[in-house]
Structure 1
Amino acid sequence: MDAATPLNAEAPEAGASQAVKTQLRLREMILAGELPGGTRIAELAIVERLGVSRTPIRAALMRLEQEGLLETLPNGGYAVRTFSERDVSEAIELRGTLEGLLARLAAERGAAAVLLGEARACLDGIDGVLRQPALNDEAFSRYVALNQRFHNLLGEMAGSAVIVRELERVARLPFASPSGFVVVQANSPQARDMLIVAQDQHRQVLDAIEHGEGSRAEAIMREHSRIAQRNLREAVRGQHLDQMPGVRLIRKRS
């Protein structure tokens, strides 16, 4: 260590890591209902609650505002945002549009064989999960991980860093990610049936990509997002607040 560097100075990498961890924890608190919609975020209270300094908290609050979970107040500071049902619906629609575009580009440009192989292996893993007559917590968690992996592979197959970056930004919006409402499927009587429908769409879009059918691949992914739209409608009717307290951030249509 340089003699001029204070012993208690925090390395830039450590500071950035702490800011990310703080951001994840604050997001978790908001979506778990620990910080209800409209709540003003008091920095000092968060410092005491999380046991970190103000610097990473301020960085985390700025990032959550950029994500759309927080809004700036006229007199300074932040408050937890609420969302209209239309806000969330449009975010899901935008995700479907971007994923459709990625699927079309992957089909038209030709996906790398290694990525196609990884996608097939991923879907084989989902098939294994869905062969169970009922999903326990462990199986459900594995489905979520594999589902996210497959959606990520679509971006890799298309080879478009620009579109992937925009998709990542959209998917950070509350409930807009591919698994944003999948917990609703897990707790509904038709849970396994809906996941099987989604899995069939996964298989169909991969087939379209392998055969260079860009328009078909795009249409399938646009349709795929409609499952999330259905789950949104179920969620805002208040059927799953115990499993998804963050749904309280969504204002119902008037």
Structure 2
Amino acid sequence: MNANKGQLSRSFFSSQVLSELRNAIISGKLPAGEKIVESSIAEQMGVSRGPVRNALFILENEGLITFLPTGRTVSNGFSLNDAEKLYEMRAFLELKSIELLFTEKALHFHQIKHINDELKKNQDDVSEFTRLDVSYHHELIRLSGNKYLLQSWLSLCPLIESVLTITNARFREKGADGWDKGYVIDHHEKILTALMTGNLGNALLFLKEHLDIGKQTMLGQLEEIVK
């Protein structure tokens, strides 16, 4: 039992460290070339070096840091070009999932509808709104029935969610006039209606429009943050 508690504790701290470091790199607080020292991070965050080490391995897999042959670890930063490429791959995977979804039979969309209903209730909570937004798209991918497509999307999901969390928070800082995410809910409903009525063309059209607007909005906010 104690061993299990220890594993859970390490997992919890690793997740916290990972999230903070990922956000720091994406927001430009740890720019490209910045040295990352495992012991210093552990001391700053009040954790042992184990959770930091675990987080760094994941960040390397995400392309956000590099372990140099000299033994040093440096940030790769996160540029606007990186953000564009991330969204290009996201769009490719999600549009493909819609095409595959229409080949499946007896699909149920109640979970997607439930998520969008929850989005309406949580428009003032940036963190929860972002989580639900990502969950909506996760469900679209899952319904495609292609586990390899799902695995590919899940590998990008932490980066997507971090970028959205950072840029949505930036929106919120601008006050009520800056924070207007009604278009997200509206687009989600249009996509859902197209899915439920079996209209592949509209489903693809609305999803592409949704992702294009989201991409431009995200890039505009990210440019302000990292400049």
TM-score by length of 1: 0.72
Aligned mate of 1:39, from 34, 42, 45: 34
Q: Distance in 2 between matches of 1:43 and 1:202?
A: 41
Range that drifts further, 14-23 or 50-59:
14-23
Structure with greater helix share of residues: 2
Deviation at 1:43, TM superposition (A): 1.8
Mean Cα deviation higher: 180-189 or 75-84: 180-189
1:165 to 151, 154, 163: 151
2:206 to 197, 220, 223: 220
1:117 is matched by which residue type in structure 2?
H
CA distance in 2, matches of 1:19, 1:172: 14
**Paired amino acid for 2:135:** R
Report if the CA contact (8 A) 1:107-1:213 is conserved.
Answer: no
Q: In the alignment, is residue 95 of structure 1 matched against residue 81 of structure 2?
A: no
Structure 2 gaps, min length 5: none
Distance 1:102 1:18, change over 3 A: same
- Structure 1 position 42, deviation (Å): 1.2
Specify the code of the residue in structure 2 equivalent to 1:124. D
Please say if residues 25 and 77 of structure 2, whose CA atoms lie closer than 8 Å, have aligned partners that are also in contact. Answer: no
Q: Is the 8 A contact 2:27 2:222 kept in 1?
A: no
The counterpart of 2:221, out of the listed 235, 243, 252, is: 235
- For the aligned residues, what is the CA RMSD? 3.3
1:71 shift after superposition: 2.0
What pairs up with 1:99-110 in 2 under 5 angstroms? 99-110=94-105
SS of 1:108's equivalent in the other structure is coil
Aligned counterpart in structure 1 of residue 51 of structure 2, from 44, 50, 56: 56
Unaligned runs of at least 5 residues, structure 1: 2-6, 130-134, 242-246, 249-254
Structure scoring higher RCO (CA < 8 A, sep ≥ 6) equals 1
Correspondences of 1:1-254 after superposition (within 5 Å): 14-31=9-26, 34-110=29-105, 112-113=107-108, 116-128=109-121, 137-138=124-125, 140-173=126-159, 181-186=167-172, 187=174, 189=177, 191-192=179-180, 195-238=181-224, 241=225, 247=226
1:44, CA displacement in angstroms? 1.9
Q: Which amino acid aligns with 1:122?
A: I
**What is the CA distance between 1:177 and its match in structure 2?**
5.7
Letter in 1 for 2:116: L
Range with bigger deviation, 172-181 or 33-42: 172-181
Comparing 151-160 with 20-29, greater Cα deviation is found at 20-29
1-structure distance, mates of 2:34, 2:195: 45
In 2, distance between residues paired with 1:122 and 1:95?
20
Aligned to 1:244: none
C-alpha spacing 1:202/1:9, structure 2 compared with 1 (3 Å) = closer
| Secondary structure of 2:193's aligned partner | helix
Give SS of 2:103's match. Answer: helix
Question: Does the Cα contact within 8 Å between 2:115 and 2:135 map onto a contact in 1?
Answer: yes
Q: TM-score, normalised by structure 2?
A: 0.79
Residues in 2 aligned to 1:145 and 1:174: alpha-carbon distance in whole angstroms:
10
> In structure 2, how many angstroms separate the alpha carbons of the residues matched to 1:9 and 1:125?
34
Name the larger-Rg structure: 1
Identity, % of aligned pairs?
24
